[in-house]
Each structure stands twice: as structure tokens, then as C-alpha cells.
Amino acid sequence: MTIRDEAFALLAANRRTTDGHTYTVPSPDAYPYQWFWDSCFHAIVLAKSEPEAAMSELRALVSRQLPDGMIPHIIYWVPGDLHRYKWGTDGTSALTQPPMLAYAAWEIYKETSDDAFLAELYPALMRYYEYLISKRDPRDHHLVGIINPDESGEDNSPRFDSVLHVPDDISLADHLARRLELVDANRACNFDAELCMNRHFWVKDVPFNAILVENLRTLEHMASFLGKEDDEHFCKLNIDLVSAAMREHLFADGAYWSAVAMTEYEPLRVATWAHFVPLFADLYTPEEARTLVDNELLNEETFWGPHGIRTVSRKEKSYRPDGYWRGSVWMAPHWFIYKGLMRYGFSEEARLVRERSVALIERGGFREYFDPETGEGYGAHNFTWGALVADMT
């Protein structure tokens, strides 16, 4: 079996149907629910081979959209599950994740030209991006805020240590407890990110905002295609505003850095793979991109590990090659970086990222994360993110 076949077999094996909704669990043992950006990844991969399954995945995801437009990062689906309240309300979390939804829907449309599907999903998509632009940027700074590290999709990243007031050698359990305290605060705030949660944790994260820009571009195509001129204008305007604000507030020394935004912007100067996500959204000039790739991405002292790209620079005090989001290699970051490199025409470097991704999976299987120094696989088994290699084309 080729790795592509294995990837599709894994996605099929992890597919579940509950209450008439069909979706894919990231890992049957470790993550037996539906997750937001994971579902987007699944849909992106499935778009080419099983578009019906890709469509179901996104339909299931938007089916639990909250009244304010937010789409939760976990949908439990299983009634009576012990964790149903852990991350928010009954049955869904009260957080979101990097907004890859419009991109995923557009990938499906590109393959199928299914106008009816686009028209069906579009209102939920529009409401979700409007929610982000209005409720997550209440003071019109043109950068959306996240209210918990889990909303970055990189739960334990040391990017957030100083905001959480935790040491770099914090245990997984203590870190989780800290993030769950934020969920309690959110609950006490009556799930009001706009006016209340932004006093507890309010980070203008680089990947989230870069992903937003790229997704607004695909949403703009959809709006134009469906003849929704006001929406098209909304997208255009916000693409420009968010890109400009990222430049103004998050760019320093040749790279983008996340910032905590309580009273004013305070840069979070921890070097992580977040530097590379703006490549995916075309937010560096070609010269800046070349310098960043040469000096950081391909630099063995910082990000370029013998087996893959470190999610945290090896020079950081918090770097742990076997640590959960503290330096280990993850396949979604590899995919974003692959796409970013291709966008700038760095196809040779992109080929190396693909080769390393394939080698890690061939050696260790579809594991959750990998050691950049030894290649050893860790965490969840039968974890779907490895299927993204099928979309490194």
C-alpha cells in the first residue's frame, strides 16, 4: 500500500456517524470526538478522493454553530460522555480553532463544482467569519484575539507561557489545569469573549490571524461567485485591514511574532514555527521570505531538525524535542509550511518537507507528533494529521 492509500484507509477507519452526522475522529483512542481544524484537514484531503465524505465532515462541523456565529473546537456527539462540559457547554466546547473552514470548503468546491453545496454552507461560513471580525476584535484593531491557548491549536506552545504565568518546564497536567481555569473564567463570563474574557487571556496570535487572512480570500471568491457584493466587500476590506495590522503590530526583525494585547501590544518573543505560517498567507515579501527560509527554516541550530521542522526553535529554553507542542514535529505545521514554500516557489525546500513527513510516518506510523532529533513517534495512535501528506502536492 502506498502512503496515500494508507492515509485514505486511516480516514475511512476513523469515520463515525452519530445522529445522522458523519465526521472523522482525529484518533479513536485519544480524540474520539469531532475537532474543528482537524475536520478542515480531513475535508481538504478527502476533497479529491471522496468529496461526499468531505462535505459531510463540514456539514457536521457547522451543524453545531452557536447562536453568535462561533463554531466550537470540539463537538462531543456522544450523549452522556463524561467530558461534555469540560471545555465549555453541554456537548460542545466554548472555544474555536484556527479558521480553516472557508479554505476547506473551497477545496471541495474546486474539485466538485457543486454550486448547491457552496450555497448551502455559505451562510454558516459568513456568520462565523463575521463573528471573528466583530466579537474577537471589539475595538477595531483589525487583529482577532484568542481567549485560550487551545484556540491556537497548539495547546501547550511556550508562546503563551508568559501570558499564563507558567514556567517553561511546567508539567502537562499543570498546564492543562491552567487552560481549564481559563475555561472556568469563560463560563463565569457567560462565554462573553468580547467584553469579559479579553481580561483573562487575549493574544493576537500570528497563525490564527494569518490563517484568517487566507481564509477570507477564499470566502471572497465564494461571495463573488454567489453574487454577494456586500460580503465580497467585507472580505476585501478585512483582508487588507488584518494584513496591515499584522505588519504594524506583529512584525519585527524579519518575522511575525504573536503579541499579548491587554492594554497595549506586548510581543511574545518566543521563536516558534508561527514565523512560517504567514508564508501560507503570502504576508512576507519574496525577499523577506527567502531570508526567513534561509536563516531560520533551514537553520539546523533553530528550526531544521534532522527528521523534521521543530515547532519551537532549538535555541529556546522551553525547547523539548519530545514535548507536546514544545518543539516536536507535527504534521499540520509541516503541511502549512509545505503550502507556504510552494506559494513562494521554493519547491525544492517544499519537496524536502514532504520527504521528511513521509519518512516519519513510514518509520513511526500515523502518530500524533515526532521527535525532530531521533524521528521517534509519540502521543496518539492512528492520528489523522499524517493524511495531510496526501495533499502535499
Binding site for ligand GLC (CB under 6 A): 26, 31, 35, 37-38, 153, 155
Q: Which residues contact 265 (CB under 8 A, 6 or more apart)?
A: 204, 249, 250, 259
Contact 37, 103 (CB under 8 A): no
Q: Please state the closest distance from residue 32 (CB atom) to ligand GLC, in A.
A: 10
Q: Please state the closest distance from residue 92 (CB atom) to ligand GLC, in A.
A: 14
Contact 201, 186 (CB under 8 A): no
Nearer to ligand GLC, 28 or 254 (CB): 28
Q: Please state the closest distance from residue 392 (CB atom) to ligand GLC, in A.
A: 19
Report which of 142, 132, 17 is spatially closest to residue 65, judged by C-alpha positions.
132
Q: Please state the closest distance from residue 9 (CB atom) to ligand GLC, in A.
A: 19
Report which of 6, 24, 7 is spatially closest to residue 15, judged by C-alpha positions.
24
Residue of minimal Cβ distance to ligand GLC:
26
Nearer to ligand GLC, 98 or 145 (CB): 98
Under DSSP, the state recorded for 79 is T
Q: Please state the closest distance from residue 14 (CB atom) to ligand GLC, in A.
A: 11
Q: Please state the closest distance from residue 380 (CB atom) to ligand GLC, in A.
A: 7
Q: 130 in the Ramachandran plot: left (φ > 0), alpha (ψ -120 to 50) or beta?
A: alpha
Q: Please state the closest distance from residue 87 (CB atom) to ligand GLC, in A.
A: 10
Contact 43, 107 (CB under 8 A): yes
Nearer to ligand GLC, 182 or 292 (CB): 182
Q: Please state the closest distance from residue 212 (CB atom) to ligand GLC, in A.
A: 17
How many residues belong to the chain?
393
Distance of alpha carbon 169 from alpha carbon 322, whole angstroms: 13
Q: Please state the closest distance from residue 240 (CB atom) to ligand GLC, in A.
A: 29
Q: Which residues contact 85 (CB under 8 A, 6 or more apart)?
A: none
Nearer to ligand GLC, 14 or 243 (CB): 14
Report which of 31, 160, 43, 21 is spatially closest to residue 105, judged by C-alpha positions.
43
Nearer to ligand GLC, 152 or 238 (CB): 152
Nearer to ligand GLC, 40 or 292 (CB): 40
Q: String of b and e for 297-323 (b: at least 16 CB within 10 Å)?
A: beeeebbbbebbbbbbbbebebbbbbb
HSE on the CB side for 227, CA within 13 Å?
1
Nearer to ligand GLC, 31 or 319 (CB): 31
Alpha-helix runs per DSSP H in the chain: 3-13, 36-49, 51-62, 101-112, 115-135, 161-164, 172-188, 206-225, 229-245, 277-280, 286-292, 331-343, 347-364
Nearer to ligand GLC, 153 or 327 (CB): 153
Nearer to ligand GLC, 155 or 194 (CB): 155
